[in-house]
Amino acid sequence: MAGILAQQLPEQALQFAYLVSGIMFIQGLRDMTHPRTATRGNLISSGGMFLAVAVTILWFEILTPAILAAGLLIGGVVGAYLAVAVETTEMPQLVGLFNGFGGGASAVVAGAELVDVLAGSGDLGVGLTASAAIAAIIGSVTFSGSFVASGKLHGIVGESPVSTNVGHALKVTFLGVALVAGAVLVVQPSLFGGVPTAEWVPVYWVIVAAALLLGIFLVVPIGGADMPVVISLLNSYSGLAAATTGFVLNNTVLIIAGTLVGAAGMILTIIMCESMNRSLANVFFGGLGGDDTAEEMEDIYEGQITETSPEEVTMLLETAERVVIVPGYGMAVAQAQHAVAELVDLLEDSGVDVEFGIHPVAGRMPGHMNALLAEADVPYDKMRELEEVNPTFSQTDLVIVTGANDVVNPRANEDDDSPIAGMPILNVEDARHVVVNKRSLSPGFSGIANPLFARDNTSMLFGDAKASMQSLVNEYKESNS
């Protein structure tokens, strides 16, 4: 159905608007590569999406105003609620859900177009059926896989990795069914000598059903700890599903946006795997198997742990010329970023050189620490990446590790059998003193003991990160008043 714009403007106007949207997406992504320009990038990309949606609605007149208003209202309310209610630590599962809906929408839209074409001319070209089959497979895997991944991260679905032969056999079976049904959809009617009719539609839903089951059986065996990587990969899939649906609909902007999401998600997945020194195959089929027993931990820690107090750390701070703060997942859990930022301000006022050492996979999502510190108004130029900060530790008087564990675990360099072997880490022990702030000697994400805690130049400041950082702020203020 031709909409109001289509009645007044030539077809080129629609393509031009889509081109402008595509350019806005690319510029937005470019801006998002740096924290300083990220907000602008977000706005530009959102503007591009608004333009694409508005032009599509006005051009094709696909919705009645009442349905449109209802959709905007429901979507707006849900979006506003999520923006306010979801904690930063829950962001990965939220992104997972969004990916799932994106993939599901692509599969449903491609199916609807198929039904529409059959109901109309009945002319199913190979381009259309092949794109629809691909969109159905990728979109459905993304939908069910993302829901399982989000459930695992949220603790609703069992987190432990399970790998069984039956599970592998089922995966192969569902993949096989989806591929065979996809092939049937593509090669009909020539293969069967028939004319395409609505009777072919169930084949599409067979693909969807098999791919939905495949998504579940692909993600269920993977451990909860690897879910952020899985979610990043499914994010890439949701983009690819959207791009193929773009081919089904012959919609340029969907192809551009989907391809950008697909590429960005894939790049992020690779960065995450490299930062953990693991292959994607290892994430999907290996599982992070660290689980040191209490005895193994005792062997490393017994008689070697030096406990410290906020008063003692304050004395170290008073004589320090250079301090590096290494935040980790615990800082996010404790929401200690504001107390940390206040401590940094106090130290800088006293002339101390302070920087942050940020590991690429500190926390539970890429950029987790940067986002939290930026929220506490820490300037970006204080956040040093691993390669930048590592050579400076030997000239650092004090490193305060707050809520981090794996990203400072020297076993990555020393123990070839550890699950983090080969992962690049922050070499904090090169500094004169290291203070590690966490609540106990419990392991981090990888489940293994950390010999850093037992080093001669390390002291443990036990306690919640926020409370501990606040104590340091109070002590430092008191001793400098």
Q: List active site positions.
A: 406
Among 333, 371, 376, 421, binds ligand NDP (CB under 6 A): 333
Cα angle at 88 between 83 and 89, to 5 degrees?
135
- Residue 298 CB, shortest distance to ligand NDP, in Å, is 15
* CA 186/CA 182 separation, integer angstroms: 6
Q: Restricting to residues 274-313, which ones interact with ligand NDP according to CB under 6 A?
A: 276
Indicate whether 265 belongs to the interface with ligand NDP (CB under 6 A). no
Of 111 and 363, the one with the shorter C-beta distance to ligand NDP is: 363
| 480 is a contact residue toward ligand NDP (CB under 6 A) | no
Look up residue 455 and give its DSSP letter: S
The smaller minimum CB distance to ligand NDP, of residues 202 and 422, is found at: 422
Counting contacts by CB under 6 A, is residue 329 touching ligand NDP? Answer: yes
Helix (H, G, I), strand (E, B) or coil at 459: strand
Nearer to ligand NDP, 40 or 384 (CB): 384
# residues near ligand NDP by CB under 6 A? 31
Shortest Cβ contact with ligand NDP: which residue? Answer: 444
In the sheet with 383-385, reading across from the earlier edge strand, the strands are 383-385, 353-358, 322-327, 398-402, 433-438, 458-462
Span from 2-10, 82-90, 144-152, 440-448 in contact with ligand NDP (CB under 6 A): 440-448
Q: How far apart are CA 406 and CA 425, in angstroms?
A: 8
| Interacting residue with ligand NDP among 242, 399, 404, 431 (CB under 6 A) | 404
Binding span for ligand NDP by CB under 6 A among 157-165, 247-255, 403-411, 470-478: 403-411
Residue 398 makes CB contacts below 8 A (sequence gap 6+) with 316, 317, 320, 322, 323, 324, 431, 432, 433, 434, 435
66-125 residues near ligand NDP, rule: CB under 6 A: none
**Binding string, residues 174-213; x marks residues near ligand NDP by CB under 6 A:** ----------------------------------------
Near ligand NDP by CB under 6 A, which window of 144-152, 166-174, 330-338, 473-481?
330-338
Which CB sits closer to ligand NDP, 48 or 403?
Answer: 403
Q: Does 354 bind ligand NDP (CB under 6 A)?
A: no
- The residue among 176 and 289 lying less far from ligand NDP, judged by its C-beta, is 289
> HSE-up of 282 (CA within 13 Å, CB side)?
13
* Cβ contact 280:273 at 8 Å: yes
Closest C-alpha to 402, from 367, 375, 426: 426
Q: Does 330 bind ligand NDP (CB under 6 A)?
A: yes
- The Cα 352–Cα 320 span in angstroms is 7
> Does 224 sit near ligand NDP (CB under 6 A)?
no
Alpha carbon separation from 382 to 171, 354, 374 (Å, rounded): 47, 7, 10
CB-facing half-sphere around the CA of 97: CA atoms within 13 A: 13
Half-sphere exposure of residue 310: CA atoms within 13 angstroms, side-chain side: 18
Q: Is 45 in the site for ligand NDP (CB under 6 A)?
A: no
Q: E strands of 78-201, at which residues?
A: none
User: For residues 363 and 406, is the Cβ–Cβ distance under 8 A?
Assistant: no
Contact residues for ligand NDP, defined by CB under 6 A: 228-229, 272, 276, 328-330, 333-334, 361-366, 368, 403-407, 438-440, 442-446, 464-465
